[in-house]
Amino acid sequence: MQERVQAALDLIRPALQADGGDVELVEVGEDGVVKVKLVGACRGCPMSQLTLANGVERVLKEQVPEVVRVEAV
């Protein structure tokens, strides 16, 4: 599952990088919880929680149905 999550993050990465940010995969739990780290401009952005929920989590759930939730660490 980790490889599929990483591949899904690679789909999102260009949009984040266009705004000066990025996302790093920290952990894929057995329970379907994916932990990511927002870096660059995303790290301090007030919209980062919206990006996480409406962007990263949505795409990960579409691409990898086993994903239950995405958390920023």
Q: Which domain holds residue 17?
A: 2-72
- Going through 1-73 in order, the beta strands assigned E by DSSP cover 21-28, 33-40, 69-72
State the pTM of this model. 0.88
The CATH number of the domain where 43 resides is what? Answer: 3.30.300.130
Number of domains, the chain: 1
Cα–Cα distance measured from residue 30 to residue 20, given in angstroms and rounded to the nearest whole number:
31
Task: Identify the residue with better confidence: 29 or 47.
Answer: 29
Residue in the structure block whose two tokens are 């329970």? 31
The confidence score (pLDDT) of residue 33 equals 97
The confidence score (pLDDT) of residue 27 equals 97
The band of 54, judged by pLDDT with boundaries at 50, 70 and 90, is: confident
Q: What 3-state class would DSSP assign to 13?
A: helix
